[in-house]
Structure 1
C-alpha cells in the first residue's frame, strides 16, 4: 500500500476513526492519481475506494490506483459505509457543509488535517515535477524580453501564458499578474489594457504534470525604486539563508519582516513571507507570523517578501525553496533582470 495511505490509516487508528472522507480534487488526485473532472468521494479505510460520477468512470478506472465504484446516491454510499461498520468518520476541513449535512446524522464526524500533513512533505518525484514547472516558467519569462517589451500588461500576460504552454506546461498555476506603475502597489493586481509603465512586477507560474511553480520579479528604473528593491532583495536572501529543518515557519517570516521593519517599511509588508505549493498553488505550511509548524526536509515553500507604497509602486521578489539541510532555491533565474 502507498506510504501516504499507510500513514493516514495509522493516524485514523490512533484517533479511533474508521474512515476518512476526501472530496477536494487535488486531495483525491494525491491519494489515487485520478483527478476528478466532476464530483468524487474518496473514502480512505483499510480497503480504500473512490465513488466517481458516471461521467468520470472511464477516466477514474484508467488512472486510479485504488478501487473505483460508480456513485449512485448518498443513500447507497452511506449504506455501504454502515455495512462495513463505519461509525466514526473523519472529514477534510474544506468539506462543503451541504455534503457534511448528508453524513452528519449517520456518523460521528470530526474534521482532521491528516491529508494536509502528508502533503507537507514532498517526495523526490514531486520535487522533480515542481522543478520542471519552475524551469518552464522561468524560460518562458526570459522569452518575454521584458526590458524591451512594448506590449500592454494584458498582452504580456497573454504571451507569458502562451510561452509556458508551448514550452510544456499544461496551463498557468494561477492568474498571471503583470502590473506596472502605481498599480504595482496592489499585491494581486490584474493586468490592464495599458502599456507597461515603471516599475514592472510580474508574478507567474505554471503547472507541469499536475504540480505548480511560482515566481515573482520586479524590474525597477528609478533610484527610489532601486532603494526599495534592495531592501526586499535583502529580506528575500536572508530569509532563504536562515531556513533549516527544526526552525519554526514563523521564525523565517520574522527574519524577512524584521529586515523590512528596520528600514521603516514594516507597515508596507502586508502579507506573509511565503506559502507551500504542490498540486495546489497554496498549501500548508507557510512562512507567516502565526504558523508554528516545524520545518522539515522535503517541504517546498515560497519566499516572497514585498513592500507596497500605496499610490506609488510596489516591489515583490519570490522564489520557491526546496528544503533539505538548508533552503535550496529551485531554478536559476536571477533576482535582478538586466
Structure 2
C-alpha cells in the first residue's frame, strides 16, 4: 500500500492542498522514522520531513523522504509559507502553542487523516504485533510471581527487554489483593497477595502488545474469572467485520450484568492496538465505528469489588470472518 499516496488523496478529499503531520506515530507510519523530539512531516507536492539536529543522522538512515533541519519553529513556519498553501490540515494532537506559532495566512482545518489509515493493519503490521505479543508471553512464562509487586514488574520488563522489546509498551501493572480492585493501579512495594492482576505489553518494530491475566487461588475468585471468560468468549464470537464496536461492548456487558456484576464492570470492553497501545476503535457504548477485516482489538472484561479484589482477562483479537485470538497464553493461571 502506498501510504503516502493515500494520505495525499485524503488531503484532496478534505479540499486542502497541504497537511502538517506532527504526531510521532503518524510520522513513523508514513516516513518509516519515529522522531525522538518535535518534528513535522509536511505533505505537499513533494513531502518534506522537518527534524531537529538531534534526529537528523538517524532520520537519514531510516527514511527516503526529503529532510529539512530546523532550529526553531519559525524555520518550520517559513518553510511552510514558502510553499504558498491555500488550505492546510493540522492534526488534533498538535499543541495550541505550536499551532499558534505555525499558522499563517492560509486557511486551515483540524483533522486526523492518518488515524483512519492506521486502524486497519497490513500483513507486516500484524506480524510485528504478533512478534511483540510472543515476546510478552514468553517473558511472562519466565517471570516468578512472588515477593513484592515492584519486583515482579521489574523482572517481567527485564525479560521483555532481553527477549527483544526495546521498551515495555506501557508501565507494567502488578496489582494484588485489595489493590487489584483499582483497574490501573501502579505497582507498589507491597508483598504479593491474591488475586494478582498483571497487565503488560512488549514492543517490536514500534508495534505494541497488551495482555492481562489474573492469577487466582480462591474459589470465589475462580467463579468471577469464569464469568469474565464467558463474557469474553461471546465478545470474541461477535467481533466480526461489519459489527459496530459498541455492540461488542453491549454483548460483553450484558453477560456480566446477567450474573449480577454489571455495576462492577467499570471500564470499556476494549480498544484498538498498533503503533499505540490505545488506538481506535474503542469497544465502548458510544463508539459507532464498524469493525473491519484486519483491525486488531483487545477484549478485556473486568469485575472489581471496591476495596476487596478485582479480576480482569485481556486478549488481542484479529478481526476477520472467524475472529482469531492472537494470544497463546492460557486464560486460567494458578499460583
Q: Same fold (TM over 0.5)?
A: yes
**Residue 169 (str. 1) matches residue 168 (str. 2):** no
- Distance in 1 of aligned mates of 2:314 and 2:114: 27
Range moving further from structure 2, 67-76 or 279-288: 67-76
Conserved 8 A contact 1:51-1:68:
yes
Deviations, residues 206-264 of structure 1 (Å, cap 9, x unaligned): 11111100000011111221221111111111101111101111011111111111111
Between stretches 122-131 and 52-61, larger displacement belongs to 52-61
Question: Is 2:212 aligned against 1:216?
Answer: yes
* Alpha-carbon distance in 2 for matches of 1:192, 1:77: 44
TM-score (norm 2): 0.96
Partner of 1:302: 298
What secondary structure does 1:86 align onto? coil
> What is the SS of the residue equivalent to 1:57?
helix
Q: TM-score, normalised by structure 1?
A: 0.96
**Kept in 1: contact 2:22–2:41 (CA 8 A):** yes
Pairing partner for 1:229 from 217, 225, 233:
225
Match of 1:33 in 2: 32
What does residue range 102-251 of structure 1 map to in structure 2 within 5 Å? 102-146=101-145, 150-251=146-247
After TM superposition, the runs of 4+ consecutive aligned structure 1 residues lying more than 2 A away are 72-85, 103-107
Which residue pairs with 2:100 in the alignment? 101
Tell me the secondary structure at the aligned position of residue 228 of structure 2.
helix
Distance across 1 between alignment mates of 2:204 and 2:322:
25
Task: Using the TM superposition, give the Cα deviation of residue 85 of structure 1 relative to its aligned residue in structure 2, in angstroms.
Answer: 2.6
> What do residues 117-166 of structure 1 show as CA deviations (whole Å, max 9, x unaligned)?
011011100100100110110111111243xxx31111100100011111
Query: 1: distance between equivalents of 2:275 and 2:227?
Result: 32
- Paired residues in the alignment total 334
- 1:22 aligns to what? 21
Matched with 1:279 is 275
Comparing 267-276 with 99-108, which one deviates more in the overlay?
A: 99-108
Match of 1:255 in 2: 251
Unaligned 5+ segments in structure 2 are none
